[in-house]
Amino acid sequence: MASHYEAPIRQPLIIGNKSYHDITVDIAAPIEGKANKQWWIVFSIAAAAFLWGIGCIVYTIGTGIGVWGLNKTVGWAWDITNFVWWVGIGHAGTLISAVLLLFRQKWRMGINRSAEAMTIFSVVQAGLFPVIHMGRPWMGYWVLPMPNQFGSLWVNFNSPLLWDVFAISTYLSVSLVFWWTGLLPDFAMIRDRAVRPFQKKIYSLLSFGWTGRAKDWQRFEEVSLVLAGLATPLVLSVHTIVSMDFATAVIPGWHTTIFPPYFVAGAVFSGFAMVNTLLIIMRKVSNLEAYITIQHIELMNIVIMITGSIVGCAYITELFIAWYSGVEYEQYAFLNRATGPYWWAYLLMMSCNVFSPQFMWSKKLRTSIMFSFFISIVVNVGMWFERFVIIVTSLHRDYLPSSWTMFSPTFVDIGIFVGTIGFFFVLFLLYSRTFPVIAQAEVKTILKSSGDNFKKFRDAGGDNPVDKFNKK
């Protein structure tokens, strides 16, 4: 009898009668074959958006920041909203990989690679905004610790934004190393299957001489665990620091002590939603339905539901504390959010982030692919509006009614944002054609315990097909 490692009620994580060789063939197919029609359609749309965004960035730098919709009252607006939104999306990737690796969760195997790639690509998008926001990027070296001949050393050393740079660059480098380490066995697999000499050379360079010996695997396991241990606190620190940009201010509606945990929960929430969006597209475009199953989508929907409820709890706490504090400015800031001229943004934020994830309590809805895809997009729209509400509604009406104003984005603001979304998808689609989207070595480790074929045999009380073969 095969030993029982898990409850028989667990759904299989690999569908179909897959053998070890089938897994290799399926995962190498998108890289070795020609891109299908769906891939080209999605890629063309993304590339068009990206080119439009580049045009808007060039126009901004050539003309000046005045082409944005900023004004004297609302100095932080669209660009910082996008920055925080992209950093938030980057969170789920490392969280899925690192935390679920530390907890030895099998269901991470099918989705961790795409999640890690999403982290790196979204942090790249976030990094664009501070550079564009400088207005004169060619003066960017001023933010570096230069010798004193350039004037006073590190003029803005007291700015909380400085810590953003440290947190995000550390996060990016650890995520990149973590992602690359996981890719080594897969690069070696493609290197060994490559027919063209040029392709073989490139993948042998990328695989760092991986041979698959026991020593290689031992080091691989150790490094993965160390990096997962490093990445987990980074997930918490990065968004905590992003929230400090607001929480250390004296503006009513910003200086809230609940911001750090609430920003972290919101980041995980939007990140998981984006992973869902990407995986539902990926499993279709790359024919990976056998490895990214309904169960993967369902488990991610459960995380979205829980983090959505935490975010909802944070919203209610904010409103309660504003009322309980007795500070009329704080009370007005929240009253103005809900009933002022931006009431529609507040309503969108509340309905998308708090109300929509509650549908996931229903098993029928959370296992529906179309509904999951719809909710994942709704959540990301809601999380964008959350940042917009926090930033714009707190600034547009301050203590002086004479300086009250409204913010509305120009076509350049919108164009740059659409461009970053395009850039993100361009990077992701190119990655799906050159890198294995699923960690084949890891998926193979769970084939015996979570493969469809093997589970049927075991749950029926029979021997595993592999065990029968070994007995012969």
In the predicted model, is pLDDT for residue 453 greater than 70? no
Segment 316-339 shows an average pLDDT of 84
More confident residue, 45 or 15: 45
Least confident of 23-32, 181-190, 213-222, 278-287: 23-32
| Contact between residue 121 and residue 427 where contact means Cβ atoms under 8 Å apart | yes
What's the pLDDT tens digit per position in 250-263?
888 788 888 888 88
In the predicted model, is pLDDT for residue 107 greater than 50? yes
What's the pLDDT tens digit per position in 394-448?
888 878 888 888 888 888 888 888 999 999 989 888 888 887 877 777 676 666 6
Share of the chain above pLDDT 90, in %: 2
Contacts of residue 6, Cβ cutoff 8 Å, sequence gap at least 6: 449, 450
In the predicted model, is pLDDT for residue 136 greater than 70? yes
* The pLDDT of residue 50: 92
What's the pLDDT tens digit per position in 196-210?
777 777 777 777 777
Segment 358-370 shows an average pLDDT of 81
* The pLDDT of residue 468: 46
In the predicted model, is pLDDT for residue 469 greater than 50? no
Q: Which of 151, 162, 126 is nearest to 387 (CA)?
A: 126
> What pTM was estimated for this model as a whole?
0.83
